[in-house]
Amino acid sequence: MGSGVRRIVPLTLGWEDLPLSVSIHGASGTEMLREPVPGVLLLCDGGWLLLDTGFNTALITDPALRRRYHGDPLIQPVLPGPGEPLEEALAGAGIGLDDIHAVAVSHLHNDHAGGLKLFAGRVPVHVQRTELSYGMSGTPAPEQHGIFRVDYDDPRIDWRQADGDAEIAPGVTAVLTAGHTPGHQSFVVDLDPSVGGGGIIFAFDAADLTQNIDDELAVGGFIDVEPEETAVQIRKLKRLAAERGYRLVPGHDPVAWPALTSEMAARWPVRAAG
């Protein structure tokens, strides 16, 4: 076993304005939320590992492309500034793009895989085999579900495909939590004893909100499964968290995510960048 993760930097790569029903199955379709778009930097042996990459900005800033890819008036992306959100977020954390030695995507939805263009031909990208197979299937279904092939169909991407749970870096395990998408994965992060040990489980879209976790409520988006299957994955993550004594963090909670970001920034200030 290698050593654990020595620093965690949550990133906010934008927001989405959307109905509560997108995050909780059967919830109100008129109650709107502004949910953060998450990314996570993890300092591992060998360098920084990035979990998720945010939007493809070109599909938002170009009017024609925005109509093509983000035409649903009920689900609208919001960028944090005029530049590339991931590059700006990294700069704010005192980390350069060249410092990232590997990337992992929880799944291929446009708000998670849109920044992969920045890493094509540069670093390995971890994904579940079933997720990539679905995304590259060539049918209309992925795009109908918010998975845009233009974000990730690049022969220069060095895919590292897993078939189920897999350690992708020392102290970081990808856990298959399929349902939201066919190959969605969450991440168990073990902190190194030198920084106090313990750990965090990042659910990403296996559980959007704290309410999904606390009440074991199915998420609003799922592909080729019944909604209850997403609640099964939430219970799986809760068991893992309880067994290890780790915190389980939802992917898009507008209260929990900023709170975690502030907590980690206080624990590891920018001046402590490695």
Question: Tell me: the pLDDT tens digits for 230-267?
Answer: 999 999 999 999 999 999 999 999 999 999 999 999 99
Residue 99: CB atoms within 10 A of its CB come to 16
- Residue 270: is its pLDDT beyond 90? no
What's the Cα-to-Cα distance from 46 to each of 2, 3, 103, rounded to whole Å?
11, 11, 13
Per-residue confidence (pLDDT) for residue 3, from 0 to 100 = 86
* Rounded distance between C-alpha atoms, residue 80 and residue 89, angstroms: 9
- Residue 191: is its pLDDT beyond 60? yes
Mean pLDDT, range 109-123, rounded to an integer: 98
Asked which of 1-15, 60-74, 167-181 is least confident by mean pLDDT, the reply is: 1-15
Question: Tell me: the pLDDT tens digits for 122-147?
Answer: 999 999 999 999 999 999 999 999 99
What's the Cα-to-Cα distance from 252 to each of 29, 38, 44, 55, 161, rounded to whole Å?
17, 7, 24, 14, 25
Mean pLDDT, range 73-84, rounded to an integer: 96
Mean pLDDT, range 209-238, rounded to an integer: 98
Tokens of residue 180, six digits: 């939201």
Per-residue confidence (pLDDT) for residue 77, from 0 to 100 = 98
- Residue 2: is its pLDDT beyond 70? no
Q: % helix / strand / coil in the chain, to the nearest 5?
A: 30, 30, 40
Return the DSSP state at 192.
P
- Residue 1: is its pLDDT beyond 70? no
pLDDT range class, residue 271, cuts 50, 70, 90: low
Per-residue confidence (pLDDT) for residue 46, from 0 to 100 = 86
Q: Does the predicted TM-score (pTM) go above 0.85?
A: yes
Tokens 């990035």 appear where?
50
Question: Tell me: the pLDDT tens digits for 177-189?
Answer: 999 999 999 999 9
- Residue 21: is its pLDDT beyond 70? yes
Domains of the chain: 7-265 (3.60.15.10)
* Rounded distance between C-alpha atoms, residue 187 and residue 171, angstroms: 10
Q: What percent of the chain has pLDDT over 70?
A: 98
273 or 65, which is more confident?
Answer: 65
Mean pLDDT, range 18-44, rounded to an integer: 98
